[in-house]
Chains A and B, each alone.
Chain A
């Protein structure tokens, strides 16, 4: 099955160097490929692991640099996540890529798209270090080329460059950590690395933990390694952004689970610091992500920052899983891991939907500036509804899927009160507070996004003339929207499956206790319970009640259409509320964080009473300014210092050799 899936991708790669038909070939086969992937994933989840090794290998007697593919439950779950998103995205792409026709090579796009899918699938199914590293880097490269696809744009090129450098840095760290593990296991095969952590020296093992955290953290976008993410994700074509934000950054979570729980293992309370570290980093990540999302003007950047926030949320759950596992609370560890995986899955769906929606807006208006939108819900009715479902999911409105995973994460954090360690408790409480704050800020952020983009009147010509996007794009979004709702409602069933994934890592299966028919319960007896199905049922029953009451009581009355209250002056787009204005109160609340810069300039014209006033605000990218730029500056400065040795004088050159020789001779005489 895997091979079949691989062939799907490869055949597309081979076929699509032709013109217009290549859209159909490329994305058709991508869709077929994803479908195959889903089938494989489901099969593995129900039947059991798959493994095969490819005949390609080079053996140097000591160790084999071969390739093998392994699909166990965890891989299958991520395969499912990837392919479930890839399928609708591929459908969406049929319509979306038309705008590139004639401007940029579509064949190239199709090729990269398929390779990107393939590499992501390979990352989660790779069975040994070399195969993994190659797939991992291939994934980075493909996404890089997709980010810089519109290569005439220097801004995109530099965004891509930053991305590639950061991801390469991450790969280097990952590579060294995996080599440390491989050295202990004396094999490059993942299957041989199981639980090698217990044989490793404490320092080496801790080093490996840290390296993996930093390496995968770079890909996942933890603060302060996230800087590439808000630049690269928006620069990519929207369907790619959806895949990048939706699933690519999740592959880091996959490897974190695999390396931490499978290879290195969490052995006991001495590993609790890891959990705490994760909670800390994750809380900061979530908060920083959402704070920047809140004030951003570029709506694709909003979504990118929101991805950072959600990765933070996922990692909060992951951190508590580590914590519980370290203290031997396997039930709770299982709960937290399930929450991790669920949020990974759900986030991929709604963030995918949102990015596709953003793509639709971009397609219709041609601008990425939120300040220039408005009133789209009347011009793009279907998109506005579908997008709204994504928004409801991301702000965790019950019973949508985002709520379910967030609820589980809250529960797993709350249940940590059973631990008796003040430091742990305090950090968990902090994480709780941050999570709650993050949730509320995210709601604000998306009110702003949706309200400013879809509601009210258009703020520019582009928005005023926007048209609904092609059917295939709508279909792709619709699939995801339906999935967002369905996965929320059917979460009890999904949890059964996810539990089988996490059982080997957490050491216990809790599905029986976690779900009670359609009701979710916490594994600790009667701590709490929640049922998305019942909530929606209750809402559905309440709705006609309210409706009937409202319409019947006091007689049936018609709804009239009138102007907005305008205080007597006709409204135009200049006195509408703007996104910047909307975020202003919160910007003031968090001004210590944003360090906003403002500039006011007054231009005097010929008329002393008519002046032109410009007011500019900008939010500096603190981490860029205070962390990365100095590093680059120092590196370049050092390099220039070293560069002095190349003086151009042959005598100096000879002197170098002379001094070296004399020194060596004196030392080694």
Chain B
């Protein structure tokens, strides 16, 4: 019961902070580019605005279009239950990291279908490209988390962070670094960040994620955006809690929890900073050069698993 409660609190935290992270990244990026940029809370304002608007649906669309925003959202909500944030506990009997990855996949699956639903060429293009990226990135994510799981001896995310925290620096093996690198690239790809995709673009021929959302508007768009932000947040959280969970609380007492929370926020900032840095210093890659980077990530993750056995 305790676990469930903690899981709910952490899930709420993830959902609540998700737009903030996006805001931070945008702000940092603007600052790096010598712009003032929108306020950090701008994503919240955007969402509120969108929720006030009505939606338009294509006359060619089927029930998939209407269902998808909700599926994406609830998949993220359930995934949030499984990820430890500041304390090494989650709703473990619900599932493990495989479930999390498959929940992501579910969301993506629906999104890709919804993009095809209206019969727009842009949707088809986005869907096709997204599936290409995900086809390579999903195994990369799985493998990189597996290497952490192998070190920890469990595939339960909370369990992994617990073992790593308790084991301390002894467990900091090359495997973890390789896996983290792979996961980092995968996170960028999964969340449509530069160099894979430009979240701010509306240039038709280069967009991937945005092309899929092209037909959405109003409340539905708000849900989709919300789900995307949550996904980014989840990825960041997983990155830290599966590979470098240091600072996380292992017991439910005020001091460790406070430390855990602070550590979490710091790591969140660090990650946002890193993303912003990358997005400011790199250009979006050509679509057909993406596979090189993607397979690079896959190979890194693969090497991570291998190195667990060899080293």
Q: Is A648 an interface residue (CB 8 A)?
A: no
With A538-B94, A586-B135: A527-B128 Cβ-Cβ less than 8 Å: no
Asked if B116 and A542 sit within 8 Å, CB to CB, the answer is no
Stretch at the interface among A140-148, A168-176, A576-584: A576-584
Main secondary structure of the interface of A (DSSP, over half): helix
Asked if A561 and B109 sit within 8 Å, CB to CB, the answer is no
Asked if A397 and B105 sit within 8 Å, CB to CB, the answer is yes
Q: Which of A575-615 contact B (CB under 8 A)?
A: 575-577, 581-586, 588-589
Q: Is B132 an interface residue (CB 8 A)?
A: yes
Identify which of A531, A546, A576, A589 contacts B121 (C-beta below 8 A).
A576
Identify which of A440, A455, A527 contacts B135 (C-beta below 8 A).
A440
Asked if B70 and A535 sit within 8 Å, CB to CB, the answer is no
Q: Is A553 an interface residue (CB 8 A)?
A: yes
Return the CB mask of A396-429 against B: 1 if under 8 Å, else 0: 1110000100010011001001000010011001
Q: Is A267 an interface residue (CB 8 A)?
A: no
Q: Is A547 an interface residue (CB 8 A)?
A: yes
With A414-B150, A535-B99: A429-B306 Cβ-Cβ less than 8 Å: yes
Kindly list chain A residues whose C-beta atoms are within 8 Å of the C-beta of B102. 396-398, 403
Taking CB as reference atom, which chain A residue is nearest B292?
Answer: A589
Identify which of B70, B103, B123, B154 contacts A550 (C-beta below 8 A).
B70
Tell me how far the C-beta of A612 lies from the nearest C-beta in chain B, rounded to whole angstroms. 23
Stretch at the interface among A58-66, A345-353, A563-571: A563-571
Tell me how far the C-beta of B157 lies from the nearest C-beta in chain A, rounded to whole angstroms. 10
For the complex, what is the distance from the CA of A652 to the CA of B113, rounded to whole Å?
72
Q: Is A460 an interface residue (CB 8 A)?
A: no
Q: Is A200 an interface residue (CB 8 A)?
A: no
Taking CB as reference atom, which chain B residue is nearest A587?
Answer: B132
Asked if A454 and B62 sit within 8 Å, CB to CB, the answer is yes
Asked if B134 and A443 sit within 8 Å, CB to CB, the answer is yes
Tell me how far the C-beta of A210 lies from the nearest C-beta in chain B, rounded to whole angstroms. 28
Kindly list chain A residues whose C-beta atoms are within 8 Å of the C-beta of B51. 550, 553-554
Tell me how far the C-beta of B156 lies from the nearest C-beta in chain A, rounded to whole angstroms. 5
Kindly list chain B residues whose C-beta atoms are within 8 Å of the C-beta of A396. 102, 105
Kindly list chain A residues whose C-beta atoms are within 8 Å of the C-beta of B310. 422, 426
With A447-B113, A451-B127, A564-B60: A439-B138 Cβ-Cβ less than 8 Å: yes
For the complex, what is the distance from the CA of A571 to the CA of B215, rounded to whole Å?
14
Kindly list chain B residues whose C-beta atoms are within 8 Å of the C-beta of A398. 95, 99, 102-103, 106
Asked if A527 and B103 sit within 8 Å, CB to CB, the answer is no
Tell me how far the C-beta of B29 lies from the nearest C-beta in chain A, rounded to whole angstroms. 28
Interface centre among B222, B305, B310 (most CB of A within 10 A): B305
For the complex, what is the distance from the CA of A432 to the CA of B98, rounded to whole Å?
12
Kindly list chain A residues whose C-beta atoms are within 8 Å of the C-beta of B201. none
Q: Is A555 an interface residue (CB 8 A)?
A: yes
Asked if B306 and A529 sit within 8 Å, CB to CB, the answer is no
Taking CB as reference atom, which chain A residue is nearest B73?
Answer: A546
With A535-B95, A559-B54: A550-B222 Cβ-Cβ less than 8 Å: yes
Taking CB as reference atom, which chain A residue is nearest B139?
Answer: A436
Taking CB as reference atom, which chain A residue is nearest B51?
Answer: A554
Q: Is A545 an interface residue (CB 8 A)?
A: yes
Q: Is B124 an interface residue (CB 8 A)?
A: yes
Stretch at the interface among B17-25, B141-149, B164-172, B275-283: B141-149
With A444-B131, A455-B64, A564-B119: A529-B95 Cβ-Cβ less than 8 Å: yes
Per the CB 8 Å criterion, the residue count for chain A at the interface is 82
**Interface size range of chain B in the complex:** 35 or more
Stretch at the interface among B34-42, B74-82, B264-272: B74-82
Kindly list chain B residues whose C-beta atoms are within 8 Å of the C-beta of A526. 154, 156, 159
Taking CB as reference atom, which chain A residue is nearest B95?
Answer: A530
Return the CB mask of A438-461 against B: 1 if under 8 Å, else 0: 011101100110111011110000
Q: Is B253 an interface residue (CB 8 A)?
A: no
Asked if B63 and A377 sit within 8 Å, CB to CB, the answer is yes
Kindly list chain A residues whose C-beta atoms are within 8 Å of the C-beta of B127. 447, 451, 577, 582
Asked if A560 and B55 sit within 8 Å, CB to CB, the answer is yes
Kindly list chain A residues whose C-beta atoms are within 8 Å of the C-beta of B231. none
For the complex, what is the distance from the CA of A550 to the CA of B218, rounded to whole Å?
10
Q: Is B232 an interface residue (CB 8 A)?
A: no
For the complex, what is the distance from the CA of A426 to the CA of B306, rounded to whole Å?
6
Identify which of B56, B77, B78, B119 contacts A455 (C-beta below 8 A).
B119
Tell me how far the C-beta of A520 lies from the nearest C-beta in chain B, rounded to whole angstroms. 9
Asked if B99 and A562 sit within 8 Å, CB to CB, the answer is no
For the complex, what is the distance from the CA of A185 to the CA of B309, rounded to whole Å?
42
Asked if A561 and B223 sit within 8 Å, CB to CB, the answer is no
Asked if A529 and B57 sit within 8 Å, CB to CB, the answer is no
Asked if B98 and A562 sit within 8 Å, CB to CB, the answer is no
Kindly list chain B residues whose C-beta atoms are within 8 Å of the C-beta of A444. 131-132, 134-135
For the complex, what is the distance from the CA of A576 to the CA of B222, rounded to whole Å?
27
Interface centre among B74, B102, B109, B125 (most CB of A within 10 A): B102
Interface centre among A374, A407, A577 (most CB of B within 10 A): A577
For the complex, what is the distance from the CA of A384 to the CA of B273, rounded to whole Å?
45
Kindly list chain A residues whose C-beta atoms are within 8 Å of the C-beta of B288. 585, 588
Asked if A422 and B309 sit within 8 Å, CB to CB, the answer is yes
Tell me how far the C-beta of A385 lies from the nearest C-beta in chain B, rounded to whole angstroms. 8
Identify which of B98, B132, B139, B142 contacts A589 (C-beta below 8 A).
B132
Asked if A457 and B60 sit within 8 Å, CB to CB, the answer is yes
For the complex, what is the distance from the CA of A429 to the CA of B59, rounded to whole Å?
47
Kindly list chain B residues whose C-beta atoms are within 8 Å of the C-beta of A426. 306, 309-310
For the complex, what is the distance from the CA of A397 to the CA of B72, rounded to whole Å?
12
Identify which of B57, B58, B112 contacts A451 (C-beta below 8 A).
B112
Q: Is A558 an interface residue (CB 8 A)?
A: yes
Tell me how far the C-beta of B190 lies from the nearest C-beta in chain A, rounded to whole angstroms. 12
Asked if B60 and A546 sit within 8 Å, CB to CB, the answer is no
For the complex, what is the distance from the CA of A519 to the CA of B156, rounded to whole Å?
13
With A432-B143, A554-B51, A576-B124: A561-B138 Cβ-Cβ less than 8 Å: no
Tell me how far the C-beta of A234 lies from the nearest C-beta in chain B, rounded to whole angstroms. 23
For the complex, what is the distance from the CA of A551 to the CA of B288, rounded to whole Å?
40
Asked if A397 and B113 sit within 8 Å, CB to CB, the answer is no
Identify which of B56, B74, B122, B137 contacts A561 (C-beta below 8 A).
B56
For the complex, what is the distance from the CA of A516 to the CA of B53, rounded to whole Å?
46
Q: Is B27 an interface residue (CB 8 A)?
A: no
Asked if B150 and A417 sit within 8 Å, CB to CB, the answer is yes
Q: Is A437 an interface residue (CB 8 A)?
A: yes
Asked if B143 and A436 sit within 8 Å, CB to CB, the answer is yes
For the complex, what is the distance from the CA of A626 to the CA of B151, rounded to whole Å?
43
Kindly list chain B residues whose C-beta atoms are within 8 Å of the C-beta of A530. 94-96, 98-99
Tell me how far the C-beta of B264 lies from the nearest C-beta in chain A, rounded to whole angstroms. 23
For the complex, what is the distance from the CA of A433 to the CA of B182, rounded to whole Å?
13
Q: Is B129 an interface residue (CB 8 A)?
A: yes
Q: Is A655 an interface residue (CB 8 A)?
A: no
Tell me how far the C-beta of A429 lies from the nearest C-beta in chain B, rounded to whole angstroms. 4
Kindly list chain B residues whose C-beta atoms are within 8 Å of the C-beta of A385. 63
Kindly list chain A residues whose C-beta atoms are within 8 Å of the C-beta of B57. 559-562
Kindly list chain B residues whose C-beta atoms are within 8 Å of the C-beta of A429. 302, 305-306, 309
Asked if A441 and B116 sit within 8 Å, CB to CB, the answer is no
Kindly list chain B residues whose C-beta atoms are within 8 Å of the C-beta of A527. 153-156
Kindly list chain B residues whose C-beta atoms are within 8 Å of the C-beta of A550. 51, 69-70, 73, 219, 222-223
Report the 10 A-B pairs with minimum CB-CB distance, sorted nearest first: A577-B124, A436-B139, A456-B119, A451-B116, A554-B51, A557-B54, A425-B309, A528-B155, A585-B132, A542-B74
Q: List 30 A-B contacts (CB under 8 A).
A: A375-B60, A377-B63, A378-B62, A397-B109, A398-B106, A411-B155, A417-B309, A429-B309, A432-B146, A433-B139, A433-B143, A437-B139, A440-B138, A455-B64, A457-B60, A516-B93, A526-B154, A526-B159, A527-B155, A535-B95, A538-B77, A538-B91, A543-B70, A546-B74, A554-B53, A560-B55, A563-B59, A564-B120, A565-B118, A585-B129
Known: A398-B103, A451-B116, A527-B154. 18 other contacts (CB 8 A): A375-B119, A396-B105, A398-B95, A429-B305, A432-B305, A433-B301, A444-B135, A456-B118, A538-B77, A546-B74, A554-B52, A560-B55, A562-B57, A563-B59, A576-B121, A582-B131, A585-B288, A589-B295
